[in-house]
């Protein structure tokens, strides 16, 4: 099993550009989440999904869109990149059950810089 994979590993964007961060998991997990990690801020939840076709907002959803058309994939879209979105982004998945009741499996991260 590859676990949780994320692409790209690094990305530089100009302000106003859009892009999609890819996330895939091969563990048949129902729950998938996106976080951003900023120095001194810990991890903050952006969006999450409890299954295909179902998504919900986390703590910091503004400026990001998600969709979940399959169990395996959970892409994160930046609609119009801003310097405040410079961060390291992590995707995670966990088995079915109550939301956030199971341990999460994290991908290796995408380091995004917006200039």
Partner 1 sequence: AQSVAQPEDQVNVAEGNPLTVKCTYSVSGNPYLFWYVQYPNRGLQFLLKYITGDNLVKGSYGFEAEFNKSQTSFHLKKPSALVSDSALYFCAVSRPSNRDDKIIFGKGTRLHILP
Residues forming contacts to partner 1 in the complex (CB under 8 A) are 4, 33, 35, 40-45, 48, 58-59, 90, 92, 97-101, 103-109
Partnered with residue 72 across adjacent β-strands are none
DSSP structure class, residue 73? B
- Name which of 1 and 14 has its Cβ closer to partner 1: 1
- Name which of 92 and 114 has its Cβ closer to partner 1: 92
Residue 58 near residue 48, CB atoms below 8 Å? yes
Q: How far is the CB of 38 from partner 1 (least distance, A)?
A: 10
Biggest CA pair distance of the chain: 40
- Name which of 2 and 14 has its Cβ closer to partner 1: 2
- Name which of 43 and 82 has its Cβ closer to partner 1: 43
The Cα 34–Cα 108 span in angstroms is 12
DSSP structure class, residue 63? T
Q: How far is the CB of 77 from partner 1 (least distance, A)?
A: 20
């Amino acid at each position: 099993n590859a676990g949780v994979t994320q692409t790209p590993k690094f990305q530089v964007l100009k302000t106003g550009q859009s892009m999609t961060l890819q996330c895939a998991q091969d563990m048949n997990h129902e729950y998938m989440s996106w976080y951003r990690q900023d120095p001194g801020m810990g991890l903050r939840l952006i969006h999450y999904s409890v299954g295909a076709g179902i998504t919900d907002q986390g703590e910091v959803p503004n400026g990001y869109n998600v969709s979940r058309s399959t169990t395996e994939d959970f892409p994160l879209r930046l609609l119009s990149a801003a310097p405040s979105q410079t961060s390291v982004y992590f995707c995670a998945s966990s088995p079915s059950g109550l939301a956030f009741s199971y341990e999460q499996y994290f991908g290796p991260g995408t380091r995004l810089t917006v200039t």
